[in-house]
Amino acid sequence: MADPARATTEPLVQVRDLKMHFPVSRGLLGRKTGAIKAVDGVSFDIMPRETLGMVGESGCGKSTTGRAVLRLYDITGGSIRINGTEIGQMSQSALRKHRPTMQMVFQDPQACLNPRMTLAGLIGEPLDEHTGWSRARKLERIYELMDAVGLNRNFANRYPHEFSGGQRQRIGIARALALNPSFIVCDEPIAALDVSIQAQVVNLLEELQEKLGLTYLFISHDLSMVRHIATRVAVMYLGKVVEIAPREALYADPLHPYTQALLSSVPDPDPETAQQVRRIILKGDVPSPANPPQGCNFCTRCPAVMPVCREIEPETREVAPGRFVACHLHDASVPTSIPTGGPTPGGASTTNQQGGSS
């Protein structure tokens, strides 16, 4: 699954067949009666200095994937290599030494900052834990980080609740950067922020990437923001990656029917073109990850569903250079008409977008 375009460099992050199942227990004795397959066999690579966007509906497992990659969970199966080190099955205590290289920026900047610690304490804590620096040196580093994310140095002794949402996210970023990580998982870092602040934070992330040579896994449900920041994009549905492609290719020509549906939902700022875009409205709800359908996970809602989809789970294959998709429509071995560039009428209802305001 190596990306031939970048074959010359080793990927920084290599995830193979990652599985994260949460046990479900019922009854008086708490017997395990099943599992929620939040992430069920996800594979992808991230190149150094690259941003992999990860999109999907809520509950599709993208956040779980992000946390599992950083081993904030003990994963059910699969392998995770970061910077050449296999961390998939590493013990949490052994993992601690590797934590400095991989960090995470969380969605809710309010909740993920300990309310009883000052800004300096929050940013400096990883330094206490992982470096033997003197107080002065640590303080110097804290100021440096605050400068880097655009926080006034005078705020060092304040508590998180005294800051605005955007500022708090800057604190979160500064904290993540404290130990010079090479890989940062950004888990919906802007979802909880005002729209006016979102751009600032995204720009900050981009700037920092530029300056520090960071590699991001950028998880978001905001397709336009992903389009803005990501180099490549992975689309997830019900615990699986259905499509991975370079940004331009994906947005111009989505291959998987789910990707198509997802992109059709993005409001177009231009009313002229918006008139012509047909929105694909998916019917029904996402099936429970505890009990996914047989065959293709998307078969219950797919507008282009075929009998084979209900039988066999499609494999992920590279259909064009750098473009991976898991869909029988793009499997040459399955005889079918291949509708590309648009949805097939029948399985899904199509509507015309009514003007710019809806």
The residue among 70 and 225 lying less far from other proteins, judged by its C-beta, is 70
Query: Cβ of residue 338: shortest distance to other proteins, in angstroms?
Result: 43
Q: Out of 48, 131, 159, 287, name the contact with other proteins by CB under 8 A.
A: 159
Query: Cβ of residue 291: shortest distance to other proteins, in angstroms?
Result: 24
Cross-strand pairs, 317: 325
The residue among 161 and 211 lying less far from other proteins, judged by its C-beta, is 161
Quick one: which of 114, 112, 82 has its CA closest to 97?
A: 82
The residue among 99 and 323 lying less far from other proteins, judged by its C-beta, is 99
User: To which H or E segment does residue 216 belong?
Assistant: strand 215-219
- Interacting residues with other proteins between 272 and 301 (CB under 8 A): none
Query: Cβ of residue 29: shortest distance to other proteins, in angstroms?
Result: 11
- DSSP code of 158? -
Query: Cβ of residue 170: shortest distance to other proteins, in angstroms?
Result: 15
Q: How many residues bind other proteins (CB under 8 A)?
A: 31
Site string for other proteins, 72-101 (x = CB under 8 A): x-------------------xx-xxxxxx-
The residue among 58 and 273 lying less far from other proteins, judged by its C-beta, is 58
Amino acid at 6: R
Which range in 41-49, 76-84, 132-140, 171-179 contacts other proteins by CB under 8 A?
171-179
Query: What is the DSSP track for 267-287?
Result: PPS-HHHHHHPEEEEPPSPPP
- Interacting residues with other proteins between 99 and 138 (CB under 8 A): 99-100, 103-104, 106, 108, 111-116, 125-126, 129-130
- DSSP code of 342? S
Alpha-carbon gap, residue 123 to 156, rounded angstroms:
9
**Per the structure block, which two tokens stand in for 221?**
């449900």
161 binds other proteins (CB under 8 A): yes
**Per the structure block, which two tokens stand in for 321?**
């250079």
User: To which H or E segment does residue 142 belong?
Assistant: helix 135-149
Tell me the Cα Rg of the chain: 22
**Going by DSSP bridges, is the β-strand pair 183-187/102-105 parallel, antiparallel, or unpaired?**
parallel
The residue among 107 and 260 lying less far from other proteins, judged by its C-beta, is 107
The residue among 18 and 70 lying less far from other proteins, judged by its C-beta, is 70
Cross-strand pairs, 286: none
Query: Cβ of residue 13: shortest distance to other proteins, in angstroms?
Result: 16
- Interacting residues with other proteins between 200 and 219 (CB under 8 A): none
Query: What is the DSSP track for 23-51?
Result: EEEETTTTEEEEEEEEEEEEEEEE-TT-E
Alpha-carbon gap, residue 233 to 52, rounded angstroms:
6
Alpha-carbon gap, residue 248 to 255, rounded angstroms:
13
Query: Cβ of residue 114: shortest distance to other proteins, in angstroms?
Result: 4
Site string for other proteins, 179-198 (x = CB under 8 A): x-------------------
The residue among 157 and 357 lying less far from other proteins, judged by its C-beta, is 157
The residue among 72 and 312 lying less far from other proteins, judged by its C-beta, is 72
**Per the structure block, which two tokens stand in for 340?**
């590309």
Alpha-carbon gap, residue 129 to 108, rounded angstroms:
24
Site residues, other proteins (CB under 8 A):
30, 67, 70, 72, 92-93, 95-100, 103-104, 106, 108, 111-116, 125-126, 129-130, 159, 161, 172, 175, 179
